[in-house]
Structure 1
Amino acid sequence: MTMENYKLFLFTLSSACVVGILAIIFVLRWVLHFQPGLGWDGGLAEFNWHPVLNVCGFIILQALAIIVYRLPWSWKRSKLTMKIIHASLNLVAYIFAVVATVAVFDYHNLSKIPNMYSLHSWIGMVTLILYCLQLVLGFGLYLMPSTPISWRAAFMPIHVYSGLLLFTSVIAVALMGITEKLIFSLTNPKYNSSPPEAIFVNILGLFLVVFGALILWIATRQSWKRPSEQTLHSLNSKGGDEDGTRVSTVLSQLSDGTEGEAVGETRKRNNKLDDRVN
C-alpha cells in the first residue's frame, strides 16, 4: 500500500529522530558536565535522574508509543501486536516518570526542601496521575477481549486526544522544570547573565519543543494513518506490490485476538470500529 507523501513522512520521522537523540545527548551532557553527575545518594546526583528519566522516558518513549501505528513497515504486523507494543512503550515511559518523581521527592526530603509548591510540580503530578489513568483505561478497553466494541469506538476519540494532550503537557512541564532548575542553581553567574550552562540548557528546551512539534505533526496527519485491516488484507489479496513504498503484508487471517468473536460480519463490523483511529 502506497503511503501518501511517503518521502515527506520519512523526512519528518528522520528529523524527529535526530532532534530526539540530540535532546538525550544534551540532557546527559547537562547532568554529567555542568551538574555533579548521576547517583542515588539523596543528593544532587540523585536529583539529576529527574530530568534524565523524564526526557528519555516520559518524552522520547511516549513519543514512540504515539507514532508506532504510523510506521508503514509496521503495518505487516497484526493490530494486536501493535497494541501490545504501544501499551508497553507507554508503560515503560510511565515507570521512568515514577522513578524520576521518587528521585526528586527523595532529594527534597533529605535536603529539607518543601515538596509540591511550584506550578511545575503541580502540573507534573496531575500529568503523572492522568497518564496512569490513561494506561489503565487503555488496557481495559483495548487489550481486554471482553470489552464491548461499542465502548472502544466511543472512547477512541477521547483516548487519542488525551494522549496527545498528555504528551504536550509533559513537554510543557519539562520546560518549566529546566527553567526553574536553572534559576535556583545558577547563582554565580546568575541565570539572567546567560552563562554557558544556561545557554546549553535553553537549547535543550528548544530541542524538546521541536521534537514535540514533529511528533504531533506525524500523529495528526490523516494521510499517514494506518489503514484498516480490511484494506490491508484486500490489497494483499490483489497482490499489490507495485512500487518500493508498498507494504508487503500477510493478513490471511484477520483475527488479531482483540475481539474474541467468530469470523464473519461481526468481525468485519468490529474491525471497522476498532480501526477508526490508530
Structure 2
Amino acid sequence: MLGEGEAIIVYRLPWTWKCSKLLMKSIHAGLNAVAAILAIIALVAVFDNHNVNGIPNMYSLHSWVGLTAVICYLLQLLSGFVVLLLPWAPLSLRAFLMPIHVYSGLVIFGTVIATVLMGVTEKLIFGLRAPASYSTFPPEGVFVNSLGLLILVFGALIFWIVTRPQWKRPKEPNSTLLQPNGGTAEGTRGSMAANSGYNMDKSDSELNNEIAARKRNFALDEAGQRSTM
C-alpha cells in the first residue's frame, strides 16, 4: 500500500518537477512493479499458511476484495507499461487510456485500503483467545484500531494531493500536447494556420471594401463637380 501510494504521488511532488518526465515515468513504473511483486509474495504466503494449517481459502470478503485488487493492479501495471511507458503506442491510444489509468489507479488504491482494514480486523478477531473480549478494549484491539485510523489518514492525504490542481506537474515546453479530441501539437499548429489564413482572408476583404468605398466617394465627388459646372 505504501509503495502504491508513493507511486501515485510521484508526479505531484514539487521537488520532482525539475526531473524529466521519462525519469518520473520510470520511477512510477518501478515503484508499482515493486508493490506488485510484494503483493504476489504476500498472496503466496497466505495460501501456503492456509494450506498448512487447514484453513479454507477464499471464503471471506477480505479475500475476495484482496484478490480482485491484486488482479486489477497487475492489469493496471501491464497496460500502463505497454501503452504509456513504451514509446511505440499511438498518441490516440495514450490519450484514451490516460484518464482510465488515473481513475482506475485511485479506485485500486482505495480498494487496497479497504482490504487492509478488513484484513487487520479479521486477523485481530481470530487471534484473540476470546473474540468477545474485543469489546473490552484489549491492547491488541486499541493498537489495530489506531493503525486503521492512521491508514485512513494516509489514504486521505494521497487523495488530497492527487485531486489538488496546485500539486499537478507543470507541462514540459517540449512535450507533445494531447488535445481532448485525440489530436496532437501538429493539429494545433494546423488549426492556428487555418485561423491565421481566415484572418488574412478577412483583412483582405476589409481592404477591398475600403477601396470600393473610396471609389464610390470619388465618383460621387466627380459627379458633384460636373453638376456645378
TM-score (norm 1): 0.62
Displacement of 1:219? 0.7
Q: 111, 136, 156: which is aligned to 1:193?
A: 136
Q: 45, 48, 55: which is aligned to 1:113?
A: 55
Answering whether residue 84 of structure 2 is matched by residue 142 of structure 1, we say: yes
Displacement of 1:103? 1.0
The residue matched to 2:19 in structure 1 has which SS? coil
Q: 168, 171, 194: which is aligned to 1:228?
A: 171
Indicate the residue corresponding to 2:19 in structure 1: 77
The residue matched to 1:69 in structure 2 has which SS? coil
Displacement of 1:193? 2.0
Answering whether residue 96 of structure 2 is matched by residue 158 of structure 1, we say: no
Answering whether residue 9 of structure 2 is matched by residue 98 of structure 1, we say: no
Number of residue-to-residue matches in the alignment: 181
Displacement of 1:155? 1.1
Displacement of 1:188? 3.8
The residue matched to 1:140 in structure 2 has which SS? helix
User: For 1:61 and 1:184, how far apart are their aligned partners in 2?
Assistant: 28
Alpha-carbon distance change, 188 to 84 in structure 1, aligned in 2, over 3 angstroms: same
Displacement of 1:146? 0.8
User: For 2:37 and 2:188, how far apart are their aligned partners in 1?
Assistant: 36
Larger Rg: 2
Q: 205, 213, 234: which is aligned to 2:148?
A: 205
Answering whether residue 10 of structure 2 is matched by residue 68 of structure 1, we say: yes
Structure 1 unaligned blocks of 5 or more: 1-58, 231-253, 257-263, 270-278
Displacement of 1:224? 1.2
The residue matched to 1:128 in structure 2 has which SS? helix
**Structure whose residues are more often helix by fraction:** 2
Alpha-carbon distance change, 128 to 268 in structure 1, aligned in 2, over 3 angstroms: farther
Indicate the residue corresponding to 2:180 in structure 1: none
* Coordinate RMSD, CA, aligned: 2.0
Matches within 5 A, 1:18-97: 59-97=1-39
The residue matched to 1:145 in structure 2 has which SS? coil
Q: Higher relative contact order by CA 8 Å / sep ≥ 6: 1 or 2?
A: 1
CA offsets 1:85-143 (integer angstroms, 9 cap, x no match): 00000110111111111111110000010000000000000000000000000001111
The residue matched to 1:94 in structure 2 has which SS? helix
Alpha-carbon distance change, 265 to 196 in structure 1, aligned in 2, over 3 angstroms: closer
User: For 1:67 and 1:180, how far apart are their aligned partners in 2?
Assistant: 30
User: For 1:112 and 1:143, how far apart are their aligned partners in 2?
Assistant: 43
The residue matched to 1:135 in structure 2 has which SS? helix
User: For 2:188 and 2:172, how far apart are their aligned partners in 1?
Assistant: 9
TM-score (norm 2): 0.75
User: For 1:137 and 1:161, how far apart are their aligned partners in 2?
Assistant: 14
Indicate the residue corresponding to 1:217 in structure 2: 160
User: For 2:154 and 2:168, how far apart are their aligned partners in 1?
Assistant: 20
